[in-house]
Every structure is written in C-alpha cells, then in structure tokens.
Structure 1
Amino acid sequence: MSEEASAVARIWSTRAGINLGPLDLIPDGKARNYVLQIGEARFHGFVVRKGEAVFGYVDRCPHAGLPLAQELDRYLTPDGDLIMCSWHGAVFTVEEGTCVGGPCVGARLSPWPVEALDGRVVTAAPPP
C-alpha cells in the first residue's frame, strides 16, 4: 500500500442527520463502532446504548490520542457501567464521558452528538 493510500485524513465531527442504522443494532448495555467516510476523510466514533438512550463519542482517548478499543465494539468494562480505554485502563462515565479512573482523571472524551429517533440512531446537532 502506498503512503498516499494509508494517509487518510481524520475528522473529529459530523453533520447532523446522518442515519447510523437501527437502534437494535446496538444491544442494550453495549457499544458499537462507526467509521464514516466523509469526503476524502474519515470520522471514527462509537455509540453506547443504555435502554432507549444513546451516547456518542469520538473514538480517541484524551490520554494518548489512540482509539479506545483494541477489539471491535469492545468499549465497555465487563459490567457495562463504564467506557474503558483498552490501552492504559482509563475509565469514563457513559453519560458524560468524564474520566473517573486511570491516567487522565478529570479529562473528558470528545462528545459525538447522536440521538435515538423513531427506532434509528442518527447524528444530532451539537448542544448550544
């Protein structure tokens, strides 16, 4: 693979209204990875489902800048209560993305505004 082919630009946000698929693709208490091709760049994010609520974050640890999961869709602690960076063990609240343990306590994941709408997960406008 050439350097040009491997050097795809990353972007850190998406526009509102992108249909990510049925809510049922994410089991309750689990997370799902999304990679979106937007123009010449890619966005990497993940969504956690808690009941009918969804919480989205950019897939990038504030400690080292790496994607959080080393295995596809493995973003949560075994009990599903916290988001976990599999590289250095940092743990984050699902609802706010605040680091509550590990090397970056007090830091936050970058939110990716998403919502459950009519049984589907869609990107949303950032809060005002």
Structure 2
Amino acid sequence: MPPPPLELEDMPAGPASGTLLARLDALPAHGGKELVFRDGNMVLRLLVQRYGHGAVVYENRCPHAGTPLNMFDDKFVDITGGRLICRTHGALFNIGDGKCVRGPCKGDHLRTVAVEIRDGAIYSI
C-alpha cells in the first residue's frame, strides 16, 4: 500500500501550500524535472514527470536506498520511456502510481506529493 501523499509545507525545506512548482509546457521533451528546495542544511528533492495530459510528482527518493532516482540531469525514465528508474540499483517504478515493479524495493512505492494541476501548472497543496 502506498504511503499517504506528502504535504510539502509540513516538510523541512518544503514550500508553502499554493506554491507554483512547474508549468507543464516548461517540462523538457522527455517530461522529467527535478525540483530542489533548501532551508539551511535541510534539502527536499522532488521529481516531476509528465504523464498522460498532466504530470505526477514524487519525492525524489528511492524507497530502497534513500538516494535520488536521477543521476543525469532531469532524466528519470528508463530507455523505453515507460517506467521511472532508480539509477543506483536499477529499480523500476510505474509512472502513474510510483509502485516498484522490479528491483530491490519491489512492491514498495515512491512517495506521492500532494499537488493540484490547474491552468497548465502544478501547485503544492
């Protein structure tokens, strides 16, 4: 069962509710973007990935190793473009629900971020 959505304003370094996170039309062609928020020594990493006509937002943290999924810029998808991949151990995750379908954390989920998509933009809730 996936963990409850992450409410960013409750996280150290998290932005306030209603913060513009990204515009859908500003996502790169491959659809992925890392967002990093800092407050002193606290860091919060998110990943935004285009999905269908919208996007999904997850905490950029592998449930197995705790490392960010991306190692190369804002690229989060595998070579097929069909799954998110953790570059540390090769775990594969469904884009739509964040469930790990292959790798050391099989059955675990990425942590969804509570967002609202409206007017072509993604906002924290």
Same fold (TM over 0.5): yes
| TM-score, normalised with respect to structure 1 | 0.78
Read off the aligned partner of 2:55 and give its amino acid letter.
V
Cα distance between partner residues in 2 of 1:65 and 1:46: 14
Cα distance between partner residues in 2 of 1:114 and 1:81: 22
Cα distance between partner residues in 2 of 1:12 and 1:100: 30
Alpha-carbon distance change, 86 to 113 in structure 1, aligned in 2, over 3 angstroms:
same
- Tell me how large the CA RMSD over aligned residues is: 2.1
| Aligned 8 A contact 1:82 1:92 in 2 | yes
| Aligned 8 A contact 1:54 1:114 in 2 | no
Read off the aligned partner of 2:75 and give its amino acid letter.
R
For 1:76, the equivalent position in structure 2 comes to 77
Q: Does 1:46 align with 2:47?
A: yes
For 1:31, the equivalent position in structure 2 comes to 32
Q: Does 1:55 align with 2:53?
A: no
Q: Name the count of aligned residue pairs.
A: 114
Read off the aligned partner of 2:23 and give its amino acid letter.
P
For 1:107, the equivalent position in structure 2 comes to 108
What stretches of structure 1 of length at least 5 have no aligned partner? 1-9
| TM-score, normalised with respect to structure 2 | 0.80
Cα distance between partner residues in 1 of 2:14 and 2:84: 20
**Higher radius of gyration, 1 or 2:** 1
Question: Percent same amino acid among aligned pairs?
Answer: 32
Q: Say which is worse superposed, 80-89 or 47-56, in terms of deviation.
A: 47-56
Cα distance between partner residues in 2 of 1:46 and 1:29: 13
For 1:123, the equivalent position in structure 2 comes to 124
| Aligned 8 A contact 1:46 1:59 in 2 | yes
Alpha-carbon distance change, 17 to 26 in structure 1, aligned in 2, over 3 angstroms:
same
What stretches of structure 2 of length at least 5 have no aligned partner? 1-10
Q: Secondary structure at the match of 2:101?
A: strand
Q: Secondary structure at the match of 1:24?
A: helix
